[in-house]
Structure 1
Amino acid sequence: MKALQHSPFWALSVAILRGFLRDRAAVFFAVVFPLMFLVLFGGILGNQDQSKVDLIQVGAVPLVDGLPKDARAAFRQTFEVEHAKDRAAALEKVRKGDADVAVEQRGDRLVAHYTQTDQVKAAVTQGTLRAFVDGANVAATGQPPTYSFAAERVEDESLSVIQFVTPGLLGWAVAMSAAFGSAATLQGWRQSKLLRRLQLAPVGTGTIVAARVAVTLLVAFGQLAIFLALGAAAFGLTLTGSWWMAIPLVAVGTLCFMAIGLLAGALAKTTEGAVNLANFLVLPMAFLSGSFFPLDGAPAWLQRLSDLLPLKHFNSGMLDVMVRGEGPAAALAPLGILAGFAVVVTLLAARLFRWETT
């Protein structure tokens, strides 16, 4: 241990880490800024339950009032019911978006007045009401139903929305920190002629690279620990499955996005240009990789495009092992893709690298 503390690698690592900690902007964008998004999403979604459908019951609706006990309980879990006598006023509320649907009964027919503004919710509402009508028809025959239905979620019952959001936000934070840090470091060292001085110093290139990688990995693991600690303490985040596989995923993901930063630093001629180019690469990738919202409803071509992005596989691997309860094998494919991407981009950055800006 003492030998390590007196080695060039240790001295360089400590110097780089101190430089990072003294740079308030770097600390803010690497740690504080992503945590602001976690707090924002956690505050909005942390305890969010599935919202009920706002339903206005116009006058007497015997079909609803006469539902069996179990069906009545399910109806109350699905709909937030408001009673009204004025049909025109109820329809106006639906038209303005203050309610989702207004129902009335005309003889043996249940009539639902809905707005097409939210087409998905309108379809769900109609399907749900139709199911209750079918159930009432079966009950009216006096015969027990032939079939029954039960719904069971495949994830742990304790999972909340914030647990699905955290891996994506963490992936974006790691990608942003690694890419921006390596881009700014490479270009900053090149502009200040530090690279040339280090080249002449009695320190091997491998030692310099290893020290920079070690500090970047340390920052990434710090982000992982802070995210998980804040999520658990403030929003009830719980980890499932082989969550510890997030550690190698973060390590390989960090190397992957360091490579992207190195490419940005090799292409740009100024520190500002390198950071802007890294931002140009990482920020759209975050939106297209599901860091902020799922892509399930996106067009097929956009989902295929996202499959080409390393952050998509990083987020997917983190989600599998941290939330979906998958085993270690679920992380192997993302690890391979991220490692391959890191190797290819690093070789490309090395090919384009110049010791001096022209």
Structure 2
Amino acid sequence: MIVRPGEELSNGTILIERGVISAIGTDVPIPEGARVIEGAVACSGFVDPWSSLGLDPASAGELAPTAATRTTDALDPWYLPEWRREALQAGVTAARLQVGRSAPMAGIGALVHTDEGTKPAVVLEDACLAGSVGLSRGGRAPDVFDRIAEVDRLVGALEKGRRYRESEVTFKKELADWLAAIAEKVTELEKDFKKAKKDREKEQSEAKEKSKEFKEEKYKEDKKPRKVRPDPDDDALARAVEGEIPLVVEVHRASEIQRLLEKTKPFDRLRLVIAGGTESLAFAEELVERSIPVLLWPTPMGSNRPDEYRDHDPALAGELARAGVRVLIGTGGGDETRELRFLAALAVGHGMEREAALAAITTIPAQVFDAA
């Protein structure tokens, strides 16, 4: 029994009650009447961290979503159900899905069960915020200036999200101060009420004697702070900036990776995840230092590959892992989640350690996307 990478049990038992694992071990008592299934090997479920399995195809390929677009709105349980079953039979029990897989800003991704009968079917409806930089779209590869501009636009959006969150925090503080000042003034007025009442009656009497109009003294309170106008896109960006959800950016070339790492350094709470990362090995030291994982698609590619995959090498997964980078393995954002274990095996065949490959499709994606 493979409990997790590096931890195995011989002659182990898994007890499942009401669809949930309740115990694992070598001396787990089996309840009377339990259904017993025996096998040579049992392993934790695989997680595909880069998929669109079960998404409406138009939404998966959408090029103009916004930061607030939610992948859960595009789930289609009737689309290719046999592929979901095949993924489940291949050991993949969960997948991170993303609409707008090639969009500069793709919105909120979701982590879902591959078995549509599992309740709840959605593990996390807000697993991440996603975007991309420098991808070929419409069969055309952008030039270097366009690619760098895409990085700057992404970082500009993050900065806008940070300002939005700062405005929210400022409003809450100002509102608390305003309410405290009002409460203090009310206490003061209540304390001086009797004296103020006598003074008012005296002033009324004097005005009447002199045939003058009595004018009430009006209390002028401080202006109430203005509430921040709700903006779903800025809120989603703010959540990523604050590290509430990870930010997955598909980026391949060294120039864009370098720019992205440089420009995101001031966002000290940002949980950046690089997807694709074809030329990321040169930045392994910084990736380790900043704890930035890399999500790879170690599939064989022919000569007719997108420009950003020009230097694609299935050996990259092993090289990054040996350098200390946390590596995730996914199926590239398509429907082929059933192929996940074969991609992990391919990475092993190109030099990745077996346990590292297993972690890349089990524990690491679960940790990165807050499902551990």
TM-score range, shorter chain: under 0.3
TM-score (norm 1): 0.22
TM-score (norm 2): 0.21
More strand by share: 2
More helix by share: 1
